[in-house]
Amino acid sequence: MAKQRPEEPKPKKTLLMSVTEFFKGIQNPFRNVKSPLENEKIKKYTDKVQGMDKKQGRKLLAGIVGGFLLVIYLILVHVYSDRFIDGTIINGIDVGSKTPEQVEALLEKRIESYTLSLTMRSTKAAAEYMEEVQSIGKEEPEQSSDGAMEIIAPVYAAEGDASVKQMSTSSPDSAETVEPVEASDSDTSVTDSSKPDESVSDMSSDESLADTTTAEEAAAETADKQQEKISDEKTPEEKSKESQDVAYNDVVVEKIPGTAFDYTYIPSGEVAEIQAKQNPFLWVIGKLGYKQEYTVASATEYDEKKLSAKISSLVEADTEKQTSPTNAQIILKNDNTFEIIPETYGTALDTEGLIKLANKAVKSSTEEVNVAKEEELYEQPVVMATDENLVNQEEALNTFLNTEITYQLPNDETRVLGRDTTSQWVSLQDNGYYYIDEAVVADCAANYAAGLAKEFNVLRDTRDFESTNAGVIQVDCDTYGRVVDEEEEAAKITEELLSCTSETREPIYSMNNLERDPRLGGTYVEVDKCDQTVYYYENYELQMASECVTGTETNPSRSTPTGIYSIYMMERGRTLRGAQQADGSYAYSSYVNYWMAFNGGIGLHDATWRDDFGGSIYWYSGSHGCVNLPYWAAQELYNMVDIGTTVIVIDY
């Protein structure tokens, strides 16, 4: 009998294989019919069976993965049952995934090397910065070389808003009132230019080289000036920021080791209590960024008195070395401009507050504390450079100082009343606050007007006259000259300054008829009593000359008075009469063809009743005070002069 071969193990059937064999075993009675519908149904059914197989496979896989993740989650829950969730911070230490024992060890190790670092404002830097701020505008002013006289009133200081008192901020010699020098009656001043120039010194070349500034020094000086200019152009915001940066960034770090105040770690079980309160099932939130901080206050122990004593002994806590803050304020610089200087923060601090802050840091084992930015510990300035009132006041003050009154003075001189003078007219309170006081400005303006009057007023009752025959002589006249109207000028100055109106003008005069020309403008009638001649000049050119007869010299009541007059009346065909007597008749009555009155009832006229003129007739047979002329001379003169023509009667 033949030995049979052992049967091969049948492959394990799958669900798909079983379904396939089932369909293969079904005898289709219509197998010989080629029906597309039949083929389509078979394919659809087959696909459905295959899809069911895949879906079940995915469900099975999902179940396996879910189960695996659940196992991992439960394992981690078990792990975190005695560990801290990630993101847990105790006394500044991230203790995530650590056991309470490990945390206790970390805390103990940290305490052993603990050092409290206090970042504090530098007393030295604060003092230097304050000195720098307070020195703004204190450079020596350049000396003026023009030699122009300025009448400078002092700065006024007010106590509060009540009484105003006078306080000079300039040296007594800084302003000088110059009185006019009258070398002669023509108001000319003589300068002695014969003296050698004392400003030129005999310097050897070696000395000159020794005093020469090197290129490096010149460059450094230029850089300093540019930096100062940049500083002047800073906005109030930039000034305040700079001041804040100095306070916050110019710092010193004081380190106090824990051993100085017996800082030790004392386990108290609080760490374990914190961990026990955490839910290990929430360990996943730590992986998602969970953060929770705890402070174990009882985990450390230290001597508070020793810590307080250590902090009190710091240089920064020494009140004698601290600098108090200063408010931003407006200052008057040496160049006579106003500028806001920034506030300074200083280093004056609350020592008790600092001790409390240090205790808080030590209890939480915080090693670094930036005290410099703890504003509540430091005294703070009240007024900042950005204060709107301060900024507006600076603008108003500088606008006031920018106002200029340019005076056109005698002898073609000009003078400017500007900031060099008006800066001293600004009022200053005891607290350093500058402001414009209208009453003070008016008072200073009155002083300035008085100075102008003292320098330029000229009053005369005689004047120079260049006569035809006797040269320059003195002639009596009514008071004339140049007089500043102090009241009106002071009011005008006050109005212009308070309204910030710049102007070019002359001072306001109450009288301004000063004539320096000894020929009085070149057009006049000259009556020479000594020579008994009348001259008429027009534009300095002689136009007519004639003998005359003046008043009777031996009779003072009939003498022609000397002086300077002007024609005020001109008339043709007038009868001149003397005083009316008791019987109604007149002392005299004379008809004249040409009448030119210049001094009351005295005038120039023709005298047809006379045959002779000139000589010594006037001594005994002169007129009643008038100036008698031949007919032809009176006619010519009448046609040449006008109302207002000057008449000068001289006697020498």
Angle between helices 123-134 and 236-249 (to 10 degrees): 160
Percent of the chain residues past pLDDT 70, beyond the cut: 77
Is the pLDDT assigned to residue 277 strictly greater than 80? yes
| Res 221: pLDDT | 60
Non-local (6+) Cβ contacts of 437 within 8 A are 156, 158, 164, 427
Give residue-wise pLDDT tens across range 486-540: 999 999 999 999 999 999 999 999 999 887 889 989 999 999 999 999 999 999 9
Per the prediction, the chain carries an average pLDDT of 82
Q: 68 phi and psi, to 5 degrees?
A: -65, -45
What is the predicted pLDDT for the residue at 185? 39
Query: CA 435 to CA 488: how far, in whole Å?
Result: 25
Could you tell me how many residues make up the chain? 652
pLDDT digits (tens, 9 = 90+) for 51-60: 666 777 778 8
Binning the chain into helix, strand and coil, the percentages to the nearest 5 are 40, 25, 35
- Cα–Cα distances in Å, from 304 out to 301, 350, 351, 352, 371? 9, 18, 14, 13, 19
Domain chopping of the chain, boundaries: 38-79, 96-139+238-277+299-386, 403-457+484-510, 520-650
What's the pLDDT band for 218 if we cut at 50, 70, 90? Answer: low
Average pLDDT, stretch 566-581? 93
The residue among 313, 291, 317, 310 whose CA lies nearest residue 362 is 310
Segment 224-237 mean pLDDT: 64
Pair 493, 416: CB distance under 8 Å: no
Contact 405, 496 (CB under 8 A): yes
Per DSSP, 516 falls in state -
**Closest by CA position to 590, among listed 628, 556, 555:** 628
For residue 40, give every residue at least 6 positions away whose Cβ sits within 8 Å of its Cβ, in sequence order, or none: none
Judge contact between 504 and 527, C-beta under 8 A: no
At 582, phi and psi to the nearest 5?
Answer: -65, -35
pTM of the model: 0.57
Q: pLDDT at residue 251 above 80?
A: yes
> How much of the chain exceeds pLDDT 90, in percent?
56
- Domain made up of 403-457+484-510: CATH architecture: Roll (3.10)
Q: What is the mean pLDDT of residues 458-463?
A: 91
> Structurally, what CATH architecture does the domain formed by 520-650 represent?
Beta Barrel (2.40)
> How high is the pLDDT of residue 18?
53
Q: Both tokens of residue 304? A: 């508070």
pLDDT at 222: 56
What integer pLDDT is reported at residue 284 of this predicted model?
81
Render pLDDT for 82-124 as a digit per residue (tens, 0 to 9): 889 888 998 888 888 889 888 888 888 888 889 999 999 999 9
Overall average pLDDT of the 35-56 stretch: 65
SS (H, E, C) 535-602: EEEECCEEEEEEECECECCCCHHHCCCCEEEECCEEEEEEEEECCECCCCCECCEEEEEEEEEEECCE
Tokens of 392: 């507006």
Tokens linked to 403: 């106002």
Mean pLDDT across 409-430? 94
* 158 phi, psi to nearest 5 deg: -110, 140
Query: What integer is the mean pLDDT of 389-401?
Result: 96
Strands 503-505 and 471-484: unpaired
Least confident interval from 42-56, 159-173, 459-473, 613-627: 159-173
Q: Which of 25-29, 40-44, 367-371 has the highest mean pLDDT?
A: 367-371
For residue 335, give both structure tokens. 């160049």
Phi, psi of 478 (to 5 degrees): -65, 155
H or E element at residue 3: none
pLDDT for the residue numbered 209: 36
Q: What is the pLDDT of residue 354?
A: 96
> Contact at 8 Å (CB) between 549 and 607?
yes
Weakest-pLDDT range from 297-301, 362-366, 526-530, 612-616: 297-301
Written as one string, the DSSP assignment of 40-104 is: HHHHHHHHHHHHHHHHHHHHHHHHHHHHHHHHHHHHHHHHGGGSPPTTEEETTEE-TT--HHHHH
Using the predicted structure, report yes or no on whether residue 5 has a pLDDT greater than 60. no
First to last CA, the chain: 196
Predicted confidence at residue 15, as pLDDT, reads 47
Kind plus residue range of the DSSP H or E element containing 417? strand 413-417
pLDDT tens for 153-181 read 334 444 333 333 333 333 333 333 333 33
What token pair was written down for 126?
């604060």
